[in-house]
Amino acid sequence: MSTLRPPFELHAQSVPAPDGTAQTYYSYSLNAESGVPPQWCGRLRTTGCRTLAAAERFVRQRIEELVRGAPDTRPWSDCSALLNDPERLRSAAAERGCLFFPGLLPVEAVLEVRRDVLRVLRDHGALADGAETDAGIARPGVVLEGSKPDEQYRAYYNEVLSVHSFNALPHHPRIMGVLKQLLGEAVLVHPRHICHAIFPGLETFKTPPHQDHFSVGGTPHTWTVWLPLGDCDSALGGVMLAEGSHADGLLPVVEGSIWVDPGTERHWTWSPMAAGDVVMFHSLAVHQGRDNTSGDRIRLAASFRYQPVSEPVDEAALAPQHRYAGWDKLYADWPPDDPLRYYWRDLPLQVQPSVHP
């Protein structure tokens, strides 16, 4: 009597955490019985999940996407006409939960950050030999990704978080001008900036549907600014968002993950973005990453977060992303009088204990 082979296999791996404890992460491999295209079978891929139940659900949704296709998307709506009209800007934000501004930032300001981040990637052996650094071509067989951080990844990420241009970009006057209009008061820029480097061949290491507020805490009136560090075409992917989903409130997450189910009532918004384009979205807006199917290019992007100064802020939002190192170490090579050093300490903040200690 024959036994049906399961459509996928899960693999648990224990990874040392910075505090000396061990964390379990799940990877998976797909079999032909899953019905996905053959090129997706056999290879070990990461889920980013830390519990068996969350990993199983992640893989089953992934199989459905590969068999039926990803959610249909509509292009971002250009909100440039709303600039300098705070009432209409806030109305659009309340309705959509997202705002898209093509060409908001000077291209050179974005490309400066791109060059600096790519130099860090090059110094850590992640770029292909013989290719121009600015092209962002990945070295075959090398992947730096944070679901299973090792010492190399932590060193690379700490160096990125030390890059001055990366820390300066979220304070750009054109971004701050929009946020001041949107929030209607003084704005706190969270110092916890995120650099996304999504390598080719990590098609399944995309961020699942989630809401930032679950991880960020503090006031729900926090907004994320997401921007590509360089042109982001359809092959590189990017971020897509369930427009209007912020109105559904804070959704339950799958245990052991950040995953939420936005349902089928909302349409997904996405389109290619160029260097200088910016999308802003509410902390309750459901969004997710798209696959990098480019074959050899690294997708670079950044997420910066903003909120009214007068509203509560989670203490973790004032710490470096991942907390692999403290600010003293990250600022070690900066001038002592640099205005970006600890800028938030001069603000009258309502700091709350972290929702995720």
Alpha helices, H only, 199-324: 212-216
pTM of the model as a whole: 0.84
Position 196 scores a pLDDT of 95
Position 126 scores a pLDDT of 96
* Alpha carbons 98 and 75: distance in angstroms, whole number: 12
Domain ranges of the chain: 8-68, 73-352
* Alpha carbons 184 and 262: distance in angstroms, whole number: 29
What are the Cα distances from residue 78, in Å, to 95, 142, 242, 271?
14, 37, 16, 11
Position 353 scores a pLDDT of 95
Position 66 scores a pLDDT of 66
| Spatial CB neighbours of 91, under 8 Å, sequence gap ≥ 6 | none
Bridge partners of residue 195, in order along the sequence: 302
Position 208 scores a pLDDT of 83
* Alpha carbons 78 and 94: distance in angstroms, whole number: 16
Position 83 scores a pLDDT of 96
What is the dihedral angle through the alpha carbons of 229, 234, 236, 238, rounded to the nearest 10 degrees?
A: 60
* Alpha carbons 351 and 33: distance in angstroms, whole number: 51
What is the dihedral angle through the alpha carbons of 237, 317, 164, 306, rounded to the nearest 10 degrees?
A: 70
- Tens-of-pLDDT digits for all 357 residues of the chain? 344 567 888 888 776 655 667 767 777 788 888 887 676 677 666 666 778 887 788 788 777 766 665 567 889 999 999 999 999 999 999 999 999 999 999 999 999 999 999 999 999 999 999 889 989 999 998 888 877 778 999 999 999 999 999 999 999 999 999 999 999 999 999 999 999 999 987 655 467 899 999 999 999 999 999 999 999 988 899 999 999 999 999 999 887 788 888 887 889 999 999 999 999 999 999 999 988 888 899 999 999 999 999 999 999 999 999 999 999 999 999 999 999 999 999 999 999 999 886
181-214 burial string, b = 16+ CB within 10 Å, else e?
A: bbbeeebbbbbbbbbbbbbbbbbbbbbbbbbbbb
From the options 1.10.10.60, 3.40.50.300, 3.20.20.70, 2.60.120.620, give the CATH code of 73-352: 2.60.120.620
